[in-house]
């Protein structure tokens, strides 16, 4: 099958349908193909980390760009016979024979015995002029991913409440020159522990709105506040609101936590029979290497669920 939204309106049948072409979905597709299962991967082509300059800490692949990882993963899928569709899955419908129909934009449809949701999350950015120009180079959302590159630098955390304090404390691993900017929102430090720890580490808090990020190319020069002051800054980390990339998990009835993550067991099986989930859409660290590992674990579980009973020993 070509990398398209399908050929015609007829449904094609696969063992597994994978929604999402990030590290989790690609890893799962590769492993499922190695188990000799037919698999189709449907990818919207709009990854969350597209602007990120590199995926740090990925074993054996330093300074790997997200686009390069995706390209390598997609080629590996093709080489193993995985069908890759560049399209959106509009909805997933359970069939009377315990399979699923994946309805694809443009009228395409594929049928799968198992479904893996690797749909990820979307981020809600603060509306600050100049932030998008430096994002991925010197503005980040994940200290775990980009903290090492921030060592010894002047850091600004944009956000408020417990989340902002937690991010600032996390960043003290790499720098002690840190400020918090609430961007016009109340600090919302109701818990006395928050202020105590910020004071002990001499992390100041600025509540004025941020007028703009001043930059030269992708380098940050300062944050200009609405009161006219300028905060010398090398790197920005901002706390963000997130939401699932689509509503497929909710539409299927998968149990979710308060943040919208799909709840899974140790085998990445959801609360819905024969529906699995992996990657950023499930609770846990949002790291590319973790998502790839989760995709492999989910693939193993899916494979075992497809093996006929006559080819398995009874558990002891």
Look at residue 199 in the predicted model and tell me its pLDDT. 97
Look at residue 72 in the predicted model and tell me its pLDDT. 95
pLDDT at 242 over 90: no
Q: How far apart are CA 107 and CA 267, in angstroms?
A: 32
Among 136-145, 178-187, 214-223, which is the least confidently predicted range? 136-145
243 — pLDDT class (breaks 50, 70, 90): confident
State what percent of residues in the chain have pLDDT above 90: 78
pLDDT tens per residue, range 124-168: 788 999 999 999 899 999 999 999 999 999 999 999 999 999 999
Buried b (16+ CB within 10 A) or exposed e, 183-202: beeebebeeeebeebbeeee
Look at residue 48 in the predicted model and tell me its pLDDT. 59
1 — pLDDT class (breaks 50, 70, 90): very low
Q: Are 225 and 233 in contact (CB under 8 A)?
A: no
pLDDT tens per residue, range 255-288: 999 888 999 999 999 999 999 999 999 999 889 9
How many CB atoms within 10 Å of residue 258?
5
pLDDT at 123 over 80: no
State what percent of residues in the chain have pLDDT above 70: 95
Q: Classify burial at 65, counting beta carbons within 10 Å of its beta carbon; exposed 0-12, middle 13-18, buried 19 or more.
A: middle
Mean pLDDT of the region 242-247: 76
Mean pLDDT of the region 236-249: 82
pTM beyond 0.85: yes
pLDDT tens per residue, range 49-58: 555 668 888 8
Give the HSE-up count for residue 99: Cα atoms under 13 Å, Cβ half-sphere: 16
Look at residue 52 in the predicted model and tell me its pLDDT. 67
pLDDT at 10 over 80: no
Look at residue 247 in the predicted model and tell me its pLDDT. 85
Q: Are 80 and 88 in contact (CB under 8 A)?
A: no
Return the bridge partners of 109, or none.
11, 103
Q: How far apart are CA 87 and CA 121, in angstroms?
A: 17
State the average pLDDT for the chain: 91
């Amino acid at each position: 099958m070509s990398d398209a939204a399908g050929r015609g309106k007829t449904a094609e049948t696969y063992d597994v349908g994978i929604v999402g072409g990030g590290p989790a979905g690609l890893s799962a597709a590769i492993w499922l193909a190695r188990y000799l299962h037919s698999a189709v991967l449907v990818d919207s082509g709009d990854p969350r980390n597209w602007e990120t300059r590199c995926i740090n800490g990925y074993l054996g692949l330093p300074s790997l760009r997200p686009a390069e990882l995706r390209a390598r993963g997609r080629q590996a899928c093709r080489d193993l016979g995985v069908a890759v569709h560049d399209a959106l899955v509009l909805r997933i419908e359970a069939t009377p024979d315990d399979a699923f129909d994946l309805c694809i934009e443009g009228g395409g449809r594929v049928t799968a015995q198992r479904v893996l949701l690797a749909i990820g999350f979307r981020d809600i950015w603060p509306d600050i002029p100049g932030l998008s120009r430096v994002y991925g180079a010197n503005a980040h959302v994940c200290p775990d991913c980009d903290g090492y590159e921030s060592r010894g630098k002047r850091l600004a955390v944009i956000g408020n409440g417990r989340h902002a304090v937690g991010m600032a404390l996390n960043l003290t691993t790499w720098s002690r020159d840190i400020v918090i900017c609430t961007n016009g929102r109340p600090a919302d430090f109701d818990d006395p522990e928050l202020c105590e720890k910020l004071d002990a580490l001499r992390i100041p808090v600025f509540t004025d709105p941020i007028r703009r990020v001043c930059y030269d190319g992708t380098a940050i020069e300062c944050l200009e506040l609405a009161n006219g002051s300028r905060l010398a800054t090398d790197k920005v980390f901002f706390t963000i609101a997130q939401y699932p990339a689509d509503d497929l998990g909710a539409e299927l009835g998968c149990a979710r936590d308060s943040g919208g993550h799909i709840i899974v067991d140790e085998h990445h099986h959801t609360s819905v029979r024969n529906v699995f989930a992996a990657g950023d859409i499930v609770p846990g660290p949002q790291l590319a290497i973790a998502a790839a590992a989760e995709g492999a674990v989910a693939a193993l579980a899916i494979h075992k669920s497809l093996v006929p009973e006559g080819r398995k020993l009874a558990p002891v």
